[in-house]
Amino acid sequence: MNDYAKSISGITKVTAQAPFLTGKGVLTAILDSGIDYRNREFIDKNGNTRIVGIWDLAGNSEKTAPPEGYVQGSFYAKEQIQQAIEENSYELVPVIDRSGHGTAVTGVLAGTYGGIATESDILVIKLNSITNELLTTSLMRGVDFAVKYATAQNQPIVLNISIGNNYGDHQGNSLLERFMDNAAEVGKTAIVVGSGNEGAAGGHMAGVLNQETNVMLSVSEYETALMIQLWKFVKDSFRIKIISPGGETATVENISITEPKSIELKLGNTTVFCYLGVPLPYQQQQEFLLQFLVQNGGYIESGVWMLVLEPVSIVQGQYRFYLSGSAVRNSRTGFLRPTPDMTLTIPSTAQKVISVGAYDVAYQSYADFSGRGYVYRYEDQSSVGAPDLIATVKPDLSAPGVNIMVPIVNGGYEEVSGTSFAAPFVAGMAALLMEWGIVRKNDPYLYGEKLKAFLTKNARRLSAYTEYPNPQVGWGALDLQTGLD
């Protein structure tokens, strides 16, 4: 499976020939929707499970406690999983992957027959939800546990996170992003995160406010709830006029404040709850949150809603709107003039994770659904004509993410697309490199930022782009060009 994608990414170069890497000795942790642990892809050729543990954060089995030091969910050790497989007893390990997402991601990363790190140890953390906007605490608990588990086992670890959300200012300042940065520096760790599938979803709109500006939002039929974030510089002051498709109007006055404030507005059958936030200890930007809800059932008034921004006192003027992720809103709901850049989902925006976009190996081109990032630059003022210095790049690189063959729950395979399946290509390669460097002692420091540098240095340029790095594919496509000696 995925033979061409593996070959063009340089994976076959180190797995099918010397040094014959398999990820052995490396722990691969998947934070996702769970796993079909009875699938052949997660059982070695001797019939033994390769899963060293499953922590179901939503589990409430009276027979199984959470991991030591935690109070939530149920943890199942390798011995329990093996017994459940041998006895074909779901009751022993009652973990279900209802969406199949986690099973598919794990198969690409570490499947015995179709994966990349085919002999790595697998640690599964089943999150409460993979589409909920409020994933922060669940992800933080999972990352904390995975890193501590690897440290206790004295193993290098690759964490794969193929989920994300739109809640935050997307500049690396949120609590979750900062937590990821800190976790990436603990032990011998690499955290790989997919950039999300919001690139063409119409959920982001940004600009600079220097005059009255109309932001048009199309709301499709049968939308029961909608959340809109506005992020701005704290010293900028402006009012927002909200106009419904039926012409009803409500205004939120000067939104530069020093204390949080909540306002409730009524426009037809739609209630708009406005939350005016303030900067936080870890974040300078100010949040303005709009939640559209309908009381007693029904739907938000469909059509074009207008958000009119009226400047009062502007210092910087930059503003950024984000809708809830495309997975939790109707496909036809979105901004009429969206901004495709800075559409990476959080936590792929964290500085010290390895952020992965998707490209199509058949056409050697960027996949338009892939979350796009940014390339921050600052000019060298020391000499005229000196090149810009690159301060921040996201995504870091891209990997195959279109028509990827994955295992499905209860057996069989199917083709899927998304950055969810590009990320495990990079995570699998990271596990192979960590085996070569750390386990086989060729480079004991091949983790963290050094591993990211190795991957971006070897990234292959796609012919569609002349400037690198760029917001679509970062430094280029995953490719172990130089091989390993």
pLDDT in tens, 44-80: 999 999 999 999 998 876 778 899 999 999 999 999 9
Task: Give pLDDT, residue 354.
Answer: 98
Task: Give pLDDT, residue 76.
Answer: 96
Instruction: Give the tens place of pLDDT for each residue, 195-207.
Output: 999 999 999 999 9
- Of the candidates 87, 161, 88, the residue with the CA atom closest to the CA atom of residue 354: 161
Helical ranges in 291-399 per DSSP H:
none
Task: Give pLDDT, residue 134.
Answer: 54
* Residue 399 near residue 9 (C-beta atoms within 8 A): yes
* Residue 109 near residue 117 (C-beta atoms within 8 A): yes
Is residue 265 very low, low, confident or very high in pLDDT (cuts 50, 70, 90)? very high
Quote the percentage of the chain above a pLDDT of 90.
80
Task: Give pLDDT, residue 253.
Answer: 84
* Residue 107 near residue 36 (C-beta atoms within 8 A): no
Residue labelled with tokens 């993410």: 401
Is residue 250 very low, low, confident or very high in pLDDT (cuts 50, 70, 90)? very high
Work out the burial of residue 313: count CB atoms within 10 Å of its CB; fewer than 13 is exposed, 13-18 middle, 19 or more buried: exposed
Structure-block tokens of residue 28: 């691969």
Instruction: Give the tens place of pLDDT for each residue, 279-305.
Output: 888 778 889 999 999 977 789 999 999
- Report phi then psi at 346, rounded to 5: -85, 130
Q: How far is CA 7 from CA 184, 279, 321, 337, 397, in A?
A: 29, 47, 40, 39, 17
Count of alpha carbons within 13 Å of 207, Cβ hemisphere only?
A: 13
- Spatial distance between the Cα atoms of 239 and 211, rounded to a whole number of angstroms: 12
DSSP 360: E
Quote the percentage of the chain above a pLDDT of 70.
95
Structure-block tokens of residue 67: 């991991």
CATH class of 3-199+346-458: alpha beta
Task: Give pLDDT, residue 386.
Answer: 44
| 461 pLDDT above the threshold of 80 | yes
Residue labelled with tokens 């809640």: 167
Per-residue pLDDT averaged across 417-428, rounded? 98
282 alpha carbon, distance to own chain's centre: 21
* Residue 375 near residue 469 (C-beta atoms within 8 A): yes
**Between the CA atoms of 348, 349, 355 and 361, what dihedral angle is there, to the nearest 10 degrees?**
90
Residue labelled with tokens 């659904």: 369
| 387 pLDDT above the threshold of 60 | no
* Residue 191 near residue 255 (C-beta atoms within 8 A): no
- Of the candidates 82, 111, 85, 101, the residue with the CA atom closest to the CA atom of residue 35: 101
Task: Give pLDDT, residue 332.
Answer: 94
Is residue 377 very low, low, confident or very high in pLDDT (cuts 50, 70, 90)? low
Segment holding 8, helix H or strand E: helix 3-8
Per-residue pLDDT averaged across 114-138, rounded? 86
Q: Do the bridges between strand 157-161 and strand 189-194 make them parallel or antiparallel, or are there none, so unpaired?
A: parallel
Q: How far is CA 399 from CA 12, 13, 127, 419, 432, in A?
A: 15, 16, 25, 8, 16
The sign of the torsion formed by the CA atoms of 258, 255, 281, 146 equals positive
Q: How far is CA 48 from CA 26, 84, 88, 174, in A?
A: 17, 11, 13, 41
Q: Do the bridges between strand 204-208 and strand 189-194 make them parallel or antiparallel, or are there none, so unpaired?
A: unpaired
| 257 pLDDT above the threshold of 90 | no
* Residue 438 near residue 447 (C-beta atoms within 8 A): yes
- Domains of the chain, residue spans: 3-199+346-458, 204-335
Task: Give pLDDT, residue 385.
Answer: 47
Mean predicted lDDT score pLDDT of the chain: 92
Per-residue pLDDT averaged across 335-351, rounded? 96
Instruction: Give the tens place of pLDDT for each residue, 204-241.
Output: 999 999 999 999 999 999 999 999 999 999 889 999 99
- Of the candidates 198, 187, 204, the residue with the CA atom closest to the CA atom of residue 163: 198
| 383 pLDDT above the threshold of 50 | no
CATH class of 204-335: mainly beta
| 384 pLDDT above the threshold of 50 | no
Task: Give pLDDT, residue 131.
Answer: 60
